[in-house]
Amino acid sequence: MTAARPTIVATCGGLNPGSWTDAVYGPLLLHAIELARVEGRAPRVAHLNTAGGDQRSIEGTELEAARAAGVDASHIRFFPHPNIEHLREHVLSQDVIWVSGGSLVNLLAVWRAHGLDAILAEAWRAGVVLAGGSAGALCWHSGGTTASFGPQISAVADGLRLLPGSLGVHYDSDPNRRIAHQAAIAAGTIPSGYALDEGVGLVYEDASLVDVVAERAGQYAWRVDAADGVVDETRVTPRLLADAVPSPSPTDQPSYQEA
């Protein structure tokens, strides 16, 4: 089966540290798979690590985590060249596309150069769940704030625009991001939208927000609006997913999750 409606899960999550393996699929990633409504076979999840430069060392960790979760996983690479001849067919055959973090700007440029942006939009309309963490959450929106150009957080306004509004990530773990995100919205560089603490995700059907979820207690999403240059920030309490942990841990985010 496919998702009931075109679905996107935008998160600050993904892989979590494992006990018997280096990493496991975290509750946010597992929730994206659940929304794909797969029955009678292993879910098919394609990992895209474009934002991190398609690091091969990450792939082994992801494949091990996928096996532990009973998932049929694959990787779509663009460095040094595409690893899949029939890209559209492969993407449309998946249940979930999971996009990991790294450089949002580089991700968008590479995807557009290879036509993946249009393929992903088609897959979304066909019921493939699009999901990801950090840059893999920002990319679906109209714009957001990112460290793609260096340590100073910058606004990017040319996202894929499958979702309206902007997104900010790592809102609680990097105080510079909150300051920069609010400033970009106040200046009108990016539109109003949401921001995410670590371990929180937004679930969209079509282009409408239908759920806010978390894999950690005590974490929040934030609605960030501005009028006449004045920012109004509203805390949104998420619904805790199964297996949520009591409190955040700084070791829970792999290094390649930076957006």
Question: Which residues are identified as catalytic?
Answer: 134, 170
User: What are the structural domains of the chain?
Assistant: 7-257 (3.40.50.880)
> pTM (2 decimals)?
0.94
Residues 6+ apart with CB under 8 A from 127: 1, 2, 3, 4, 5, 6, 7, 36
Counting as low any pLDDT under 70, the low residues of the chain are 1, 247-258
Residue 1: its pLDDT value, please?
Answer: 66
Residue 152's alpha-carbon distances to 119, 155, 259, in angstroms, are 32, 10, 12
Q: What is the pLDDT of residue 252?
A: 45
β-strand pairing of 208-216 with 239-245: parallel
| pLDDT in the model for residue 229 | 87
Residue 135 pLDDT = 98
pLDDT for res 257: 52
Digit-coded pLDDT (tens) for 147-197: 999 999 999 999 999 999 999 999 999 999 999 999 999 999 999 999 999
